């Protein structure tokens, strides 16, 4: 079970929970984000067989499945498959986040 560290109430009354894993991660770094990697794979036109994460024993679509890197990658790929082509800003080779690229208009 993932421990909840912080809860935030949105203006519409919904509550968002931040887990230990989220609070410890760098939210601006998409290089290791399974969801983002799956989405980028779909944008390149590559199929689901390119999922680098091992399948989990949880039922597909269950909370445990979506909490796994495998499930997050698949969810990102499913979303990316429905979006128009082209790389998103964090998929660009020169995105200005310290990876050697330059920010736009620099």
- Per-residue pLDDT, 100: 42
pTM: 0.56
26-36 confidence digits (pLDDT tens) = 555 566 789 98
- Per-residue pLDDT, 105: 47
Q: What residue segments make up the domains of the chain, in order of their start? A: 1-28, 31-91
- Residues in the chain predicted with pLDDT less than 70, given as ranges, are 1-6, 10, 16-31, 85-106
Evaluate the CA torsion angle 9, 11, 13, 16 in order and state its sign.
negative
């Amino acid at each position: 079970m993932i421990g909840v560290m912080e809860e935030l109430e949105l203006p519409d009354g919904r509550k968002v929970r931040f887990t230990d894993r989220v609070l410890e991660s760098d939210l601006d770094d998409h290089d290791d984000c399974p969801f983002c990697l799956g989405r980028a794979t779909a944008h390149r036109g590559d199929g689901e067989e390119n999922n680098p994460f091992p399948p989990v024993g949880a039922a597909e679509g269950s909370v445990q499945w979506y909490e796994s890197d495998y499930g997050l990658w698949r969810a990102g790929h499913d979303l990316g498959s429905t979006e128009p082509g082209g790389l998103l800003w964090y998929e660009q080779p020169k995105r200005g986040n310290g990876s050697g690229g330059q920010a736009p208009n620099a």
